[in-house]
Amino acid sequence: MENCMEKFVIIDGNNLMFRAFYALPAMTNFAGEQSNAVFGFANMLVKIIKEVSPKYIAVAFDSSKKTFRHEKYLAYKGTRKPAPVELISQFPIVKDMLKAMNITVVEQPGLEADDLMGCLSRMYQGVQNIIVSADRDAFQLINDNTQILYPKRGVSETITLDIGNIKEHYGVEPNQVVELKSLMGDSSDNIPGVSGVGEKKALQLIADYGSLDGVYENIDKITGKLKANLIEDKECAYLSHYLATIVTDKDLGYNLSDFEYDYPFGSEVKDVFKRYQFGTLLKKDEIFNGEDAPATIKVERIKVDNEEDLQLLVDKLIATKEMSIYIDNDIFEIYCDKEYEICVGTDLLSCGLSFDKAIAILKPILESADIKKIVYDYKALKHILYPFGVKLNGVEFDCVLARYLINSLARPGVTALQVFNENSIDTLDYAYGLTVVKSLYYAKLQEMAITSLYYDVEMPLVEVLFDMEIEGFKIDREELKSLEQKYREEIVALEKEIFDIIGHKFNLSSPKQLGEVLFDELGINIANNKKKSTSIEVLNEIEDKHPVVPLIIRWRSISKLYSTYIIGFEELLDSNDKIHTLFNQTQTSTGRLSSSEPNLQNIPIRTDEGRALRRMFVPSNKGGLICSADYSQIELRLLANLSGDEVMIDAYSKGEDIHRRTASEVFGVPAEMVDDKMRRSAKAINFGIVYGISDFGLSQNIGCSRKEAAEYIKLYFARYPFIEKFINDNVEYARANGYIKTMFGRIRPVPEVSSSNHNLRTFGERVAMNMPLQGTASDIIKLAMIKIYNEINNRGLKSKIIVQVHDELVVDVYPGELDEIKEILKTGMEGVVDLKVPMLVNIESGATWYEAK
């Protein structure tokens, strides 16, 4: 093969897209469009262009029509599962990208991509053909003028196969590839081959006899079962030969010049990369022609390593009244007109300023509300500055919060550099980079109509959450010790009882050992041939099949409480016996807050033992109280409001018991005749509908047949018709737009709703049904928290909001302030938003969190 020949790269489009799709994690852009396969394809293409420097490129795709192979053998590829919708949706995108690159896409009815590559590789003289494919069928196309670039791992690592090394890698010459497939078949294409002949045996037959014809010409030399199979499946072998042979002699009607392309790429390609947020590709300046590139902004970088220069910077910031600031580990940078690197050290050997001295000099700037600041992770920065007595003010924009609002599915916890990379910002000037991110994100917030959500909800909430984290929740150490002893003794007693029943000790924490005891030693059977799991779901199913199972369930429950909430809390107590949870503002896709280190939102309340844990939580001041305010049925009230269902609105407006009203409507009895069982069933229906419950799920919840449950759901929608319409409309909206919104405009991308995977798709549908309710409830309680926090501070009270658990707010009430706090909570929570139905709040108080519930 002559190196001076022009190179013609022929890409197996389908194969590379499939490979990229399964090699890379799911990716979505701000609009929720799937793009991982396109990203992988684009990266591979750029790599090939840079390393191979081809003059011509073609990308071949399979036709959607049946091929000549189907005419010969109807079962051809008949065992293949349909491609996932998430992948199918990306084929138009990759073709649009190729069009923008002026790369020719080759498709013809009746021919597969393999055939198109075969024909293209034989059509033109004087070029070196390089076929890019991970399909081993293509190996038959290798000759003196054609080689294969074979992706070895995902789409990032390749090997080159040519006439000189193909046998070393694959065991046969190119002209023997079809012979091999004829004997061994190909399960992926449903090519039958010969029964009982796998790759190893087929390779040996080809090595011995050279070809399929050679095998049958020497059939008498073969013995035993192999000979019998070859004779019986001779017709299948030759059919397989036909099916495996790639077409190479069809004129596709192209001139070689049709495969010239544009490189470096122009602005249209850059626009595609921007739309799908291919940040790493956008940063590769060398792949673009530069015609549309804006002038590079040269950022002057100045090191500040003494007090005099830092004071000069302070004076400058006072004059300019705007800045961006980035502090993380050993990086401390400020940008106004230049990038100022504050050189700080932590020990005597470090050069520059000490960190605390630098902060002391900058304190007036950091605390000034008049100097507007762009930051990266507002709350984290407040925590960095807090030990130095600095109260951060004037924060105008937090890039982390904006990124979260723009795409709530974006991976949380990323670094500033990763955000720069996502947005094609090629800089190591951190503070300057934040100003660029701010301009991009602010425009996106405006485009998505969520600036109000950003500035009125998320930004002011930071101050509330920060103070809650600093305040902490006091733990009664004596109660903690009492529970520790109680649970430890019960764990020991349970283990003894379990081991006595089984007859020997084993590791109760080991799923493998526990499974062997339950299913092998005790011979417990699981219904419906389920896997022998030791999950709590399975244990609950087999609870009545052996006396030891309830003991194991109890042991597991108590052990988890002991390790997570007793031992776990002991390790987290500060010198004031307080624990300080973190409230995560950017973790959930619905806008809900989450809690960690420790997770106070997950303290179990359905069991007596779980509820008892709340006895540990006490007021921080002697004579104080814990006050809990909890929205009553907020999601159902929002369902009535957002759906406009007159029956449900009427029930709430009259102050009726909604579950009793639903029982009356569904079971067809007067409200006064609804018994407790009917009400419990109606409650399960009401809350189940919000989460898209199925007839099976409802039947399990209320203990009826699946047929009865289906009838209850049908009756429910008949009595509340606007609710059914609301739910269906949300699903259709998500399907059409790829996202769903709350009443306040918060957006949650829902790519799952179009998934080909049934479980993912039904999950997406449930998200579309519930997110407008759960997300709106989250927005409402956030607004209430801000209002209540401000009111407490404005009145100069000493009580503190300390915990939020979804629809519940917990206040550490200072002695003598209970009545005022209750009034603030009621007014703040019930009056924060106007709905068609009243918002009601249940408020309780007590000496512990347990008593306040």
**pLDDT digit string, tens, across residues 759-783:** 888 889 999 999 999 999 999 999 9
Q: Which residues of 149-183 are buried (b: 16+ CB within 10 A; e: fewer)?
A: bbbeeebeebeebbeeebeeebbbbbebbbbbbbb
Measure CA 698 to chain center: 28
> CA 487 → CA 309, 476, 552, 602, distances in Å?
60, 17, 15, 19
More confident call, 232 vs 478: 478
72 pLDDT band (50/70/90 cuts)? confident
The phi-psi region of residue 692 (left if phi > 0; otherwise alpha if psi is between -120 and 50; otherwise beta) is: left
284 pLDDT band (50/70/90 cuts)? confident
Question: What confidence score (pLDDT) does residue 304 get?
Answer: 93
Question: What confidence score (pLDDT) does residue 155 get?
Answer: 60
Question: What confidence score (pLDDT) does residue 491 get?
Answer: 95
2 pLDDT band (50/70/90 cuts)? very low
> CA 766 → CA 443, 632, 759, distances in Å?
31, 22, 11
Place of tokens 């930071």: 462
Q: Please say if the pLDDT value at position 802 is more than 80.
A: yes
Weakest mean pLDDT among 145-149, 287-291, 569-573, 594-598: 287-291
**List of E strands, 617-697:** 617-618, 625-631
Of the ranges 204-208, 535-539, 590-594, 822-826, the best mean pLDDT one: 822-826
Tell me what the mean pLDDT of segment 269-281 comes to.
85
Tell me what the mean pLDDT of segment 62-76 comes to.
76
**According to CATH, what is the number of the domain 635-775?**
1.10.150.20
Weakest mean pLDDT among 139-148, 399-408, 519-528, 541-550: 519-528
Question: What confidence score (pLDDT) does residue 755 get?
Answer: 78
- What are the helix (H) ranges across 101-249? 113-123, 166-170, 177-184, 199-209, 212-217, 224-232, 234-244
What is the residue type of 562?
Answer: Y
- What are the helix (H) ranges across 130-176? 166-170
CB atoms within 10 A of CB 782: 25
Percent share of the chain, pLDDT over 70: 96
Question: What confidence score (pLDDT) does residue 37 get?
Answer: 92
Of 662, 668, 667, 664, nearest in space to 688 by CA: 662
Question: What confidence score (pLDDT) does residue 59 get?
Answer: 96
Residue 475, CA atoms < 13 Å, CB-side half-sphere: 26
DSSP 557-587: HHHHHIIIIIIHHHHH--TTSEE--EEESSS
Question: What confidence score (pLDDT) does residue 711 get?
Answer: 87
294 pLDDT band (50/70/90 cuts)? very low
pLDDT, tens digit (0-9, with 9 covering 90-100), for 632-690 = 999 999 999 999 999 999 999 999 999 999 899 888 889 889 998 889 888 888 888 87
> CA 590 → CA 26, 150, 742, 745, 770, distances in Å?
19, 43, 9, 11, 9
**3-state SS class at 681:** helix
Q: Are 759 and 745 in contact (CB under 8 A)?
A: no
CB atoms within 10 A of CB 547: 11
**List of E strands, 29-113:** 56-60, 104-106
Question: What confidence score (pLDDT) does residue 531 get?
Answer: 66
Question: What confidence score (pLDDT) does residue 306 get?
Answer: 93
DSSP 377: S
**3-state SS class at 329:** coil
| Structure-token pair, residue 34 | 């799937």
Q: Are 780 and 637 in contact (CB under 8 A)?
A: no
- Do you find a cis peptide bond into 598, omega within 30 degrees of 0? yes
Q: Are 635 and 773 in contact (CB under 8 A)?
A: yes
Q: Helices (H) and strands (E) in the chain — how many of each?
A: 37, 25
Between CA 114 and CA 248 the distance in angstroms is 9
Q: Please say if the pLDDT value at position 348 is more than 50.
A: no
Strand order in the sheet with 473-475: 578-579, 473-475, 617-618
pLDDT, tens digit (0-9, with 9 covering 90-100), for 216-230 = 888 888 888 888 888
Place of tokens 């830092």: 310
CA-based end-to-end distance of the chain: 81
More confident call, 19 vs 352: 19
| Structure-token pair, residue 456 | 């009125």
Question: What confidence score (pLDDT) does residue 442 get?
Answer: 96
Question: 77: Cβ–Cβ under 8 A, 6 or more apart, which residues?
Answer: 70, 189, 190
Residue 32, CA atoms < 13 Å, CB-side half-sphere: 21
- Triad 652, 654, 656: Cα angle to 5°: 65
Question: What confidence score (pLDDT) does residue 4 get?
Answer: 64
Question: What confidence score (pLDDT) does residue 655 get?
Answer: 92
**According to CATH, what is the number of the domain 6-167+247-259?**
3.40.50.1010
296 pLDDT band (50/70/90 cuts)? very low
Q: Are 363 and 311 in contact (CB under 8 A)?
A: no
CB atoms within 10 A of CB 488: 15
Question: What confidence score (pLDDT) does residue 426 get?
Answer: 79
Question: What confidence score (pLDDT) does residue 295 get?
Answer: 43
| pTM reported for the whole predicted model | 0.73
- Give the chain's radius of gyration (CA, Å): 34
Choosing among 3.30.420.10, 3.40.50.970, 3.30.1490.20, 1.10.3720.10, the CATH entry for 301-448 is 3.30.420.10
Of 757, 799, 807, nearest in space to 83 by CA: 757
Measure CA 1 to chain center: 48
Question: What confidence score (pLDDT) does residue 503 get?
Answer: 94
290 pLDDT band (50/70/90 cuts)? low
| Structure-token pair, residue 354 | 């000490």
Q: Are 818 and 630 in contact (CB under 8 A)?
A: no
Between CA 666 and CA 683 the distance in angstroms is 11
Q: Are 357 and 342 in contact (CB under 8 A)?
A: no
More confident call, 476 vs 68: 476
Strands 127-132 and 344-345: unpaired
SS (H, E, C) 826-844: HHHHHCCCCCCCCCCEEEE
Q: Please say if the pLDDT value at position 349 is more than 60.
A: no
Q: Are 617 and 600 in contact (CB under 8 A)?
A: no
- Is the domain covering 477-576 a CATH 1.20.1060.10 domain? yes
Between CA 33 and CA 756 the distance in angstroms is 15
**3-state SS class at 631:** strand
How do the domains of the chain map onto residue ranges? 6-167+247-259, 301-448, 477-576, 635-775
DSSP 420-469: HHHTT---S-HHHHHHHHHHHHHHHHHHTT-HHHIIIIIHHHHHHHHHHH
What is the residue type of 310?
Answer: L
Question: What confidence score (pLDDT) does residue 507 get?
Answer: 94
The mean predicted confidence, pLDDT, of the chain is 89
